Structure 1
Amino acid sequence: MGRTTVLATVLTLVPVTAQAAEPPCLAPAEFSAVSSYALPSLIRGAISRCGPSLPSTAFLRTSGEALARKYDAGRIAAWPTAKAAFLKVGTIMNPQVSGLFGAMPDSALRPMVDGSMVNMVGQRLPIDRCTSLDRAIELVAPLPAANAAKLVGIAAGLWAGDGRARLGQFSVCKT
């Protein structure tokens, strides 16, 4: 059983606990770190999910992997804060699973997180949103990785004022 499969299996236990308590919110800086770490995997998941439905000239098909590689550079610096944010959210959802992940070495945990993000996007992204997502990614592509991640954090922070800032189990604290 691969690491991604193990993570997916463990995470099937999470919804039972997730209904019991609202996950903690993340500060905009934490959300930016999660974004910085997650962007390459999320882009790769979008390529996998949307590629077949997009025209051959679409940004994700022609330049998506190059952008994911460009954003890979910022992942290492973002990992400590992103890991803490992942564990912060996971502790409320399922303390035992979060404790298990917190005890894992980064060399084992990071590939599991990466694979689960690629799979999540690859399975859950509605195909009818691929064209809009392709355009949005193309607009952000010229930005350095750190700026793109901060933009995500700022946008999420702006939305937090009206209670809409949520990305899966991650929500941004109201400022």
Structure 2
Amino acid sequence: MRRFAAAFAAMLATCPGLVHAAQPCLTAAEASSLTAYALPSAITGTAKRCVPNLGTNAFLPTGGAELAARYAVRKHQNWPAAKAAFLKMGAKDESSAFLANMPDPSLQQMLDALIEGMVAQQIPLDRCAEIDRVVGLLAPLPAQNTAELLAVMFGLAGKTGKAKNDLFSICES
């Protein structure tokens, strides 16, 4: 999960002017929608990075593609709130206006490719077995439950000081 956060932060950093100087505050619903939208691409990127380093009986080689496809079914439902959260995370300059005015299919295609690529780049190969285990344990959960669980963990990571979350904080209600 921490690697996903680092990869997502790195992905945001590749878009000039996209990241706020201050960490944005997302509602729990925005954080869940953004996470749910990103999960299929993150799982695909994780599988691309880790499958060559895992045994044939590991979860990602045997069930990763199916899990990503199952989670992708709800992407269209999560998109409106995920887009709003993504844009909220951006700086208020020309690049954010450009992104906000992009047609949704183009913005989605760009985000999916960036998330998948950045996740694949950020995962250390020696962590693949642990990540495979975590993904396998989360796999039975419905996509929305997994997204909400991860969003809560992102929010908690920002509050504890022990784990760093550079992406966003969860707004206090």
If the TM-score is normalised by the length of the shorter chain, which range does it land in? 0.7 to 0.9
Aligned to 1:13, which of 16, 19, 26? 16
Residue of structure 1 in register with 2:123 after alignment:
125
TM-score scaled by length of structure 1: 0.83
Residue of structure 1 in register with 2:5 after alignment:
none
**Gapped runs of 5+ residues in structure 1?**
1-7
- Distance in 2 of aligned mates of 1:109 and 1:130: 29
1:41–1:118 CA contact under 8 A, matched in 2:
yes
Q: CA deviation at 1:174?
A: 5.4
Q: Which amino acid aligns with 1:13?
A: P
Residue of structure 2 in register with 1:83 after alignment:
83
Q: Which amino acid aligns with 1:28?
A: A
1:91–1:99 CA contact under 8 A, matched in 2:
no
Residue of structure 2 in register with 1:146 after alignment:
144
- Distance in 1 of aligned mates of 2:144 and 2:122: 26
Residue of structure 2 in register with 1:103 after alignment:
101
Q: Percent identity?
A: 40
2:31–2:170 CA contact under 8 A, matched in 1:
no
Structure with more contact order per residue of length (Cα contacts < 8 Å, sep ≥ 6) = 2
1:25–1:170 CA contact under 8 A, matched in 2:
no
CA RMSD between the two structures:
2.1
Residue of structure 2 in register with 1:31 after alignment:
31
* SS of the residue 2:91 aligns to: helix
Aligned to 1:113, which of 108, 111, 114? 111
Residue of structure 1 in register with 2:6 after alignment:
none
Tell me the matched-pair count.
160
Residue of structure 1 in register with 2:168 after alignment:
171
* SS of the residue 2:168 aligns to: strand
TM-score scaled by length of structure 2: 0.84
Q: CA deviation at 1:165?
A: 5.6
